[in-house]
Chain A
Amino acid sequence: MADGVLAVLGAGTMGAGLAALALGRGVDVVLVETDPEVAGAVGKKVRQDARLGRLLGGYRPREVGEARLTVTGDIAKAAAATAVIECVTETAEAKHAALSAISELVKPGTLLITNTSAIPVDELASFCDRPQDLVGAHFMNPPYLIRAVEVVRGPRTSDDAMDQARALLAELDREGIEVGDGPGFVINRVLQRMINEAARIVEDGVASPEAVDALFTGCLGHRTGPLATGDLIGLDNVVQTLEVLAERTGDAGYEPCDLLTAMVREGRLGRKSGRGFHDYDQEQVKAA
């Protein structure tokens, strides 16, 4: 990746966070975002988040020259990328469009990473010109603070692509934990179901969101409870991921509960909208 350029497709929460991490580590980034409103605002956010990551010790700084950030709506500007991370909306359709477009543009053998939360890597590999170049890397939010990454090798992923993925993670100062393919991989196969069930408990009036989360933090020592975790991920993303899991596993336990879908309809998306299961208006100054 030395002298390389990382292309990040999609400037949502994860795309912007990954661009911040790369920038902070001195890697040039081309951030592709087709929504002009999002693209217009994201440059400032990426630069601020890169500083936040450094301030909080989320990555080890490198004394290299300042990296360059290019925000563009034109995917063709990513043609010279030495690695690509796809972070578009969590639907097979959106990922199909992004992966097929980028794999036609970049040089064969260029590492393609999908940051999908739950869609099997092999399903997405079918959208690429060269399925062997695709690796799954499920970064956590915010990626510039959380070092561990769930790395997913699809059945068609090549050794070379895996080696490139390991090198990229080293470049970004992240630690990959490699697992096999399947809906939701490891984390979301367990976590999304837990969030859904926790929301259902609130929906049924069995416990308040505060009580649910307090049990997981207080009794089990989790750093955050399942509903606060859902708020952090974004409840719209939780619902999309649950739908992906329900569709691909046929397991009704993954079907998003009514409370979750109603909250998303009302725009109560969690931290990013200021309110989800918990309120975040004063979040930045309150005790963590």
Chain B
Amino acid sequence: MTETTQNSVGTGSSTHQELLAFLDAKTGRTLDASSDLFASGISSLFALQLVVHLEEKYGVTVGGADLKMDNFRTVDAMVALIGRLRGATG
């Protein structure tokens, strides 16, 4: 999976930091980038809020086969998805 975007998307990237801060604010949980959100007690319904957040914040469109829980299960997975979608469109 290529992660070639304007932002760095390494483990300590600003995208990682922003998503972790978003999750902290919304769920009150301090997570790390590889934590399985839905196994840590966050409702699976929250996944749609994550979809909308990614679209609004990062200007990507998540559709079709990308609408699957595994893409939103961890911050790492979301960062990879953003990178891939930006790569595909940019």
Contact = CB atoms under 8 A, between A and B. Distances in A.
Given A284-B49, A285-B27, A55 B68 contact: yes
Nearest to A51: B67
B69 A56 contact: yes
Contact of B69 (A48, A55, A283): A55
B67 to A, nearest CB: 5
Contacts of B52: 48
Nearest to A286: B43
Given A54-B67, A55-B69, A56-B69, A285 B42 contact: yes
The DSSP consensus for interface residues of chain A is loop
A52 interface: yes
B43 A52 contact: no
Given A55-B47, A57-B69, A287-B43, 16 more contacts: A51-B51, A51-B67, A55-B48, A55-B51, A55-B69, A56-B45, A56-B47, A57-B68, A284-B43, A284-B46, A284-B49, A285-B43, A285-B46, A287-B41, A287-B42, A288-B45
Interface residues of B, number: 21
Interface of A: 48, 51-52, 54-57, 61, 283-288
A286 B49 CA distance: 13
Contacts of A284: 43, 45-46, 49
Nearest to A287: B41
A55 B64 CA distance: 9
Contacts of A287: 41-43
Contact of B44 (A48, A61, A288): A288
A284 B65 CA distance: 23
Interface in B7-61: 26-28, 41-49, 51-52
A39 to B, nearest CB: 22
A283 B44 CA distance: 11
Contacts of A286: 41-43
A219 B69 CA distance: 31
B46 A56 contact: no
Residue with the greatest number of chain A CB neighbours at <10 A, chosen from B26, B43, B49: B43
Given A51-B67, A56-B69, A285 B26 contact: yes
A55 B67 contact: yes
Contact of B45 (A51, A52, A54): A52
Given A51-B48, A55-B51, A283 B43 contact: yes
Contacts of B63: 51
Contacts of A283: 43, 45
Across the A-B interface, the 6 shortest Cβ-Cβ residue pairs: A287-B41, A285-B27, A54-B67, A52-B48, A288-B43, A55-B67
Nearest to B29: A285
B44 A56 contact: yes
